Every structure is written in C-alpha cells, then in structure tokens.
Structure 1
Amino acid sequence: MSILPLIFTSAWASGINSYAVVLLLGVFGATGLSDEVPEALQRPDVLIAAGVLFLCEAVADKIPYVDSAWDSVHTVVRPVAGAVVAALLAGQSGSLPELAAGAVGGSTALVSHLVKAGTRMAVNTSPEPFSNIAVSIAEDLGVGALITLAIFYPVAAAVIAGTLLLAGLLLLVFLVSRIRRFWRRRAERRAGKRLGQTVTQRSG
C-alpha cells in the first residue's frame, strides 16, 4: 500500500501542530499499533522533547497575539518538520522516494501553516480571548483525530485533510480583507496617539 496518504495527512497536521504529529506517530509506533512509523520517531528522547514542546504550544496557542508570534517563529519549523516526517515515513515504507516525500510533506505543511497563521490573525481581530481558545482546541482535536484516522484508514484521512486544506484556503481568501482593515485601523489609532502626544508636549 502506498504511504502517500499518510504522508499527506501528516504534512497537513504538521502545518497545524508539528509537535503533536511527532508525538502521536511516535506513540503509535512505540505501542505497536503501526508498522509504518520509523524508529527515529519512537525514541524516548524524541517523544519527551515532542511532549514538552507540545505543552508549550498548547499554552502559547491559546493567548491572543502570542499565538501569532508563535506562528511566525514556526513558519520555518513546521514545513521542515513536515518534510522530515514525510521523508522518514517514505524511508520506512520504501514505496516512495524520500526526496519526493519530503517535497510533498514540506510544501503541504507550509500551505497548512499559512492557512492556520492567517486564520489566527483574523481571530485576533476579535476583542475577546475565548475565540482563540476555541479555535486552538478545535485544531488540537482535529490533528489528533486525523493522525489517528490516518494510521488505520489513511486514504479517508487524506481526503478529509485535503478538504480541510482547500476549505482553509478559501476561508483565508475571504478573511484577507478583514485582516487588512483591522491592521489599518490599528495603525491609524497608533498614529493618532502619537500625534496627540506630540501636540500635548508642544502645548505644555
């Protein structure tokens, strides 16, 4: 069976939360539930590091504006993680060249990450913090559910991941104008405050 559906789903999920992907795949491999997971992802040090970083992301991802800063830092991390995981899965299976798998994994994770980061910027235009928490929890549950499904039903998981990726891109296009308006108003308010401070200082 081709490893491509599992690679695609793992790459999509890596763009959302790469640490969760490494942790879940490692656990599935270490417990013997999947033979597709390479030993490199099952190592105790890898699992511990992924677990700690997952907890860090679970906290940062639910705080307005901190989540966008975290996403900015991970613009490189997530695509690289997607490419590495894809190459390792391909190497374990032997049914797909590792270079091709890495290209698929990296590019898919990058697109998925951009959708996530853009959506979070739109969510941050809301004045309350609860939407961030709700979206973050939904993303974590979605990653966990799809990676689990991909282990047992890889084709079905890949179809869902592809649908979510396309829907996310369409949503992002719709939200671009809202994001631009928010940052324009924010810049105007800052400029207004600086102008007011300058006038006050001169009049004083």
Structure 2
Amino acid sequence: MDDIVSTLALTFGVGWAAGINLYAVILVLGLLGATGYLELPAGLALLADPLVIAAAGFMYLVEFFADKVPGVDTGWDTLHTFVRIPAGALLAAGAVGDVGPAVEIAAAVVGGSLAAATHAAKAGTRVLINTSPEPFTNWGASVAEDLGVFGGLLLALTHPGVFLVALALFVVLLVWLLPKLWRGLRQLFRSLGRLFGLGRDRPAEADESAGSVAAGPGERPSHRGQR
C-alpha cells in the first residue's frame, strides 16, 4: 500500500510541477537520483545522467531570469505551452515504472492534464500581473512558484500521503480559480481592443442607418438631405 501511495504521489507530483517549472523538476529528480538519495523508477533513470542534469540546470537558470521580466515571462510561458504539457505527461508515465502500457498511458493522461492545468494557471496569472508596471509582483510570483515546486516535490517524496491530500485541495482551488482567470483575461483583452480602436462601429454606417426612413407601400425610400 505504501508503494502505491508513493508511486501515485511521484506520478501526480511530476505532472503538477512540470506545468509550473519543468526544468526545476528535472533538475531536482536528477540530482536526487545521482546522489543516491532517491532510487528513480526505470522510466526516469535517465534524469540522473550528468548531461541531463547539466542541461536542466542551464535551462533552469535561463528560466529563472526570463521569468522575472514583465512581458518576457508571458512570451516564455507561451512558448512552453508546447513543452511543459507533453513533458509532464512523459514524466508521469515514466514515474509509474514498468507496470504495463495501460498504466503508463493512464499516468500520461493524468500527468499531462495536471501539467496543462498548472501551466494555464501560471500563464494566466502572469498576464494579469503584467498589467502592473512595477516588476516586484513578477519577482514575488516567480520565487513563490519555484519554492512551491521544490517544496511540493520534496513533500511528494518524503510524505506522499500528505502531498496527495494537498494536491486534491489544490485541484479544487484550480477549479475555482481558472474560470475567474479566464474572465479576467477576456476583460483585459476587451480593454486592449477598445484602447487600440478595435470593435468600434463605423460612424458612416451608423449615420446612414439613422438617416434612412421606412418607405410605405408604393413609396420610394427617402433619406435625410435627399432632394
């Protein structure tokens, strides 16, 4: 039973964390596996390779700085829509070990879904935060995300049962939060559209419509100003 809980916590944990900071996940698991603190499942053993750890460390540093620049962080998140979600699915599938194709596919579906949800929450929140001109909110959000990933992974490895309960609460929070983020983003885009003159009615058409008079039977339509 303990092995099942541990496997579930690792599977869900890597999917959840990959949507927030994929390179931190790979770096943490790789270092833990390389130092012998954690025996990685066969599907994740490659993460302990020094070349993988070096690449993950380099990309983590790049993201560390890109994630703290307003505007750049949103561009970075947009590009990583195509990276974090499939990578979260692959990591989750590798975390279940060599159990069987059906279990691996199920783990990939769940892991990819968690990665998609956390990525959407992160990216949407950053777009709204970027409406503020000061950079300190971005820095605070970025640091909080990194600490959350490191803390969440360590909790999943050391106290898997507690992590699963916390993850369930987090999913409930996401169900409540994502629709609100979507409405906030729609309002923001509408405001930007009005700012740049998008979606306005054309005055000429409005004047023509207002100036036309309905014609009765046998009469020609008349317009104001027409002789």
TM-score, with structure 1 as normaliser: 0.86
**Residue-by-residue CA offset, 1:171-200 (whole Å, 9 max, x unaligned):** 2322333322222222222239xxxxxxxx
SS where residue 191 of structure 1 aligns?
A: coil
Counterpart of 1:70? Answer: 76
Tell me by how many angstroms 1:168 deviates: 3.2
Q: Going by fraction, where is helix more abundant, 1 or 2? A: 1
How many residue pairs align between the two structures?
191
SS where residue 80 of structure 2 aligns?
A: helix
**Residue-by-residue CA offset, 1:65-124 (whole Å, 9 max, x unaligned):** 2111111111121111111111221126x4882222212211211111111111111211
Higher mean C-alpha displacement, 149-158 vs 166-175: 166-175
Segments of 4+ moved more than 6 angstroms: none
Question: Equivalences for 1:154-173 in 2 at 5 Å?
Answer: 154-173=160-179
Counterpart of 2:12? Answer: 8
Q: Distance in 2 between matches of 1:172 and 1:127?
A: 24
Tell me by how many angstroms 1:136 deviates: 0.7
Q: Which runs of 5+ in 2 are unaligned?
A: 199-227
Counterpart of 1:87? Answer: 93
Counterpart of 2:33? Answer: 29
Which fold has the larger relative contact order, with Cα–Cα distance below 8 Å and residues 6 or more apart in sequence?
Answer: 1
Change (3 A) 1:11 1:67: same
- Does 2:168 align with 1:175? no
| Largest Rg, 1 or 2 | 2
**Residue-by-residue CA offset, 1:43-82 (whole Å, 9 max, x unaligned):** 0111111111111111111111211111111112111111
Tell me by how many angstroms 1:131 deviates: 0.8
Q: CA RMSD in A?
A: 1.9
* AA partner of residue 46 (structure 1): V
- Does 2:64 align with 1:58? yes
TM-score, with structure 2 as normaliser: 0.78
